[in-house]
Amino acid sequence: MDIELATFDKKILDVTTFEKISLSDIVFDDVIASLFSSANPIAGMRTTSHSLENGTRLYNLLALQSPIICYRFRKGYRALTGAFTLTTLHHGQASLLLEADAQIPVFVLQKKPTESLKKAIALFSLTNDLLSKCFISDAKKIGFYIRAWFQKDEGKKSLFQSAEWSALFPNIDTAEKLASHLSISKTELFRRG
């Protein structure tokens, strides 16, 4: 896993193209859908429904700033990252701020990644926001998302030693380390709401 992700990261510039595709051609990948259905990151945010209306209208800039990475599937595309961007674009289309046949800039992976790679890409984007950029600051919620998104491998003491986690955060292998990384207390992190 470690190696696979590392190799993928090394080669990614060669196998990725930057394209303009039609917004209606792209859908969310099953991996993102299942991550969102187990723990929806939008629920953790303070913003309410109106955030989309009050938010940006600079759709092209947005698509470049938080890009969508996708791969070809049959005749269309499936998005692996950029769920928030894509939602905003969809909202823009529904509220007539974007044309019905709007073109959006995306990064297209030339080959379809494997199942585990797909999950790693999606998780990397989400956990990076969660733990490094800290778009959610409530310790209890951070704990909830991590528990929902990562599976504890069998035989391992905690999910921090699972393959999925250690591929993304190899140096954080215990709850204590995560707690100190976030500068919160461990009990807070694992209190179940």
Given 2, 9, 19, 115, the residue binding other proteins (CB under 8 A): 115
Question: Contact region for other proteins (CB under 8 A) — 11-19, 25-33, 161-169, 181-189?
Answer: 25-33
Contact by Cβ (8 Å): 39, 123 = no
Q: Which of residues 28 and 165 has its CB atom nearest to other proteins in the complex?
A: 28
- Residue 20: strand pairing partners: 105
Given 1, 8, 12, 36, the residue binding other proteins (CB under 8 A): 36
Whole-angstrom distance, CA of residue 90 vs CA of residue 182: 33
Q: Least distance from C-beta 141 to other proteins, angstroms?
A: 7
Backbone angles phi, psi at 113, to 5 degrees: -70, 160
Contact by Cβ (8 Å): 166, 2 = yes
Binding marks (x or -) toward other proteins, 42..81, rule CB under 8 A?
Answer: xxxxx-xxxxxx-------------------xxxx-----
Write the CA distances from 152 to 144, 161, 174, integer angstroms: 14, 8, 13
Given 2, 9, 19, 30, the residue binding other proteins (CB under 8 A): 30
Per the rule left: phi > 0, alpha: psi between -120 and 50, beta: everything else, 94 is alpha
Q: Which of residues 157-176 bind other proteins (CB under 8 A)?
A: none
Distance of CA 176 to the CA centre of its chain: 24
Q: Which of residues 36 and 169 has its CB atom nearest to other proteins in the complex?
A: 36
Please report, as ranges, the residues that interact with other proteins according to CB under 8 A: 24-28, 30, 32-33, 36-40, 42-46, 48-53, 73-76, 83, 86-87, 90-91, 93-96, 111-112, 114-115, 138, 141, 144, 148, 193
